[in-house]
Amino acid sequence: MSTGMRAGRPLKVGVLVDLVLTEAAGGHVKCWQRIAEAAVGCADRLDLTVHFSGPQPRRIELSPAVRYVVLPPVLSTRRFADRVKVWEFAAYNFAGGRVRANRFATGRGGEVMIEATAAEEREKRSALACYGSERRNLRHIGVARETFRPLPTHDYAAPPHPGRLFRERFHWVPFHHPRIDFAPSAEVYRDIGAWASASTPALGDRPGGEPGQPDRELSRPFDEAEGERGLGG
């Protein structure tokens, strides 16, 4: 971010957002869009230019003092799409009605398991401990192994496995709870599917880019057998 100010003139600010400006863009792009929209009402104090990436050069004026400037990237990962492999690591899921960490819900072929050394286990425990506010919610994350595989073609509009999903484990709660996302999964995956189909792939199979993550909440120390006995604190 660069700034410059002269007495009696608005503060000039330029922001480089190294992401593509599209209707399906994610939260970081939308955050700067909301900031720019709010800045429209500050014309006497602020002159703002937000720079985004895009396929064609263009300039979008929000007001005389606020604008987007879109330019094609000089170097893009798109040129490596046919030469670079994309891998995914297993996080956690609720396949089979149990919390499963560091394992995929279903095998798709090519899975590789890494067994950690004692030193690597200590390093991962130390990294997890950095998130003090989430220490109970992170208990279900193991340190003994990691599993990864070549990124297969996923249908991001469909749930990752049959049966109840990780995010649905506490949908039985009859009152609002700030650590539970009660949005119906059908709506969640509809929106993820729409986002994925609108995104331009950068690397590997569609949808490429950043795979949408359906899990919106961690609401329990999941080391309990079924992970369903309470909401935790």
Per-block average pLDDT, block size 10, for the chain (233 residues)? 60 92 84 94 92 92 95 77 82 91 90 95 93 83 92 88 92 89 91 71 38 35 38 44
33 and 100 co-located in one domain: no
Shared-domain flag, residues 116 and 20:
no
CB environment 54-69: b (16+ within 10 A), e (fewer): beeeeeeeeeebbbbb
Identify whether 229 is part of a domain: no
Mean pLDDT of the chain: 80
Domain count across the chain: 2
132 shares its domain with 169: yes
Residue type present at position 77: T
Judge if the upstream peptide bond of residue 152 is cis by omega within 30 degrees of 0: no
Are 60 and 91 found together in one domain? no
Residues 148 and 67 in one domain: no
Residues 62 and 107 in one domain: no
Whole-angstrom distance, CA of residue 68 vs CA of residue 49: 6
Which domain, by its residues, includes 109? 87-198
Interval 183-208: pLDDT, tens? 999 999 988 888 777 654 443 333 33
Query: Do both 172 and 132 map to the same domain?
Result: yes
pLDDT, position 67: 96
Same domain, 181 and 123: yes
**Alpha-carbon gap, residue 114 to 92, rounded angstroms:** 16
Residues 193, 97, single domain; the answer is yes
